[in-house]
Amino acid sequence: MSDQVKRFIRVDHAGEYGAARIYAGQLAVLGRGAFGPQLEHMKAQEQVHLDAFNEMIVQRRVRPTALLPFWHIAGFALGAVTAALGPKAAMACTVAVEETIDAHYAAQREALGPDEAALSQTIEAFRLEEVEHRDIGLANGAEQAPGYRLLTGIVRVGCRAAIRLSETV
């Protein structure tokens, strides 16, 4: 397995770990409200994604990122803080995160060769669910969140930095 594929699995594992923590943070604040079921739905899908990469990390002997303890806290904090700003801000966070992951997975698929067809298919299946999450955010008022552009801009920059760090660290 190439170093590139190892990096892909490491960063995807970190990303799905962080995503599950973001929704956990949002659920801690908004879980009892009207958005509870949708947040639960997205968190359940992130857990499936995370389980798949957890398995790959073990089977393919990829070292996970050393930053997992940090993503544990930072992911939850991002979810809880945006949720505390209101449900629309939480949905805006979802749009920014999921758009970033959509592009990230699409780029990985472009780079993967035919020898990694199974991984490529898994990534595509997950990418479609990330797009579904983005659409849930858009359908639930994300763009009406106060400071939508600023908020999504900050979250996007943060996600891209997290991706870069988790590939190698």
User: Which residues are near Fe ion by CB under 5 A?
Assistant: 16, 19, 46, 49, 130, 133
Q: How far is the CB of 62 from Fe ion (least distance, A)?
A: 17
To Fe ion, the closest distance from the beta carbon of 134 in angstroms equals 8
CA distance 63 to 59: 11
Q: Coil, strand or helix: which one is 67?
A: coil
Tokens of 16: 């799905």
Residue number of the CB atom closest to Fe ion: 49
Identify which of residues 146 and 160 has a Cβ nearer to Fe ion in the complex.
160
Residue 130 CB, nearest approach to Fe ion (Å): 4
Which of 49/88 has CB closer to Fe ion? Answer: 49
Pick the closer one to Fe ion by CB: 46 or 99.
46
* Ranges of H-type helices in 31-147: 36-59, 68-84, 87-111, 117-139
Residue 17 and residue 60 in contact, taking contact as beta carbons nearer than 8 Å: no
